[in-house]
Amino acid sequence: MFTGLVEGMGEVVETVDDVGARRLTIGCAMAPELEPGESVAVDGVCLTVVAAHDTSFQVDVIEETLKLTTLGAIPRGARVNLERSLRLGDRLGGHLVQGHVDATATVESLVRRGNDVRLDVRLPEGLGRYIARKGSVTLQGVSLTVASVTGGRFQVALIPETLRATNLGTLSSGDRINVEVDLLTRYLERLLQDRQPADDAPTRTGKGKRTP
């Protein structure tokens, strides 16, 4: 579990492809603090550290994740957002993020007007119903608040600190990004799908006679 508050950025220094998987080596300042077996969100994708060194760590990305996220096409030299998993007792500054990417979306535009920076995103079909104005969404592992929604598109505002601490400021029209919707919307949808009247629920048909 994560919060969507990026702790730092890393650089993909090596990619090694194998049958059904890809191993990424990521250089970053937090590498000495990592241990094999712990979870790290890489551009919003929850991955397990398989090896950690003084200046880098390694993760394995399986075929399903390669298909569903941007990590299948990520090149050497790419900058990635990093966040270690949430510990009990930590402050929840963003929102609850699982690191389970729902899909990739397309950047429509990144418009800068001084410190007012707006990112417009086009969602794949079927995902728009999970996005609500003033609701939460995770893009590239970053917890953001939805500013507006229009059909299958939505907009978020990026503050200077987000631009400084993450890779969102480098995006341009046509780029693909990882999207995770608010997990509460997924559970709510599931609950509503399963909600049915109980067979033994009383049915009101009008006034009845009292039975002594």
Same-domain pairing of 187 and 119: yes
Cα distances from 37 to residues 29, 40, 193, 202, in angstroms, run 18, 10, 36, 53
Are 108 and 135 found together in one domain?
yes
What distance in Å separates the CA atoms of residue 105 and residue 62, rounded to the nearest whole number? 20
Same domain, 176 and 126: yes
Residues 68, 17: one domain?
yes
| CA–CA separation, 43 and 159 (whole Å) | 18
Same domain, 114 and 145: yes
Instruction: Please give the tally of structural domains in the chain.
Output: 2
Could you tell me the sign of the dihedral formed by the alpha carbons of 197, 200, 201, 204, in that order?
positive
Structural domain that includes position 14:
8-84
Q: What is the pLDDT of residue 204?
A: 47
Give the pLDDT score at 181.
Answer: 93
Q: Residue 6 pLDDT > 70, yes or no?
A: yes
pTM across the whole model: 0.86
**Same domain membership, residue 120 and residue 47:** no
pLDDT tier, 177 (very low <50, low <70, confident <90, very high otherwise): very high
In terms of domains, do 107 and 188 share one?
A: yes
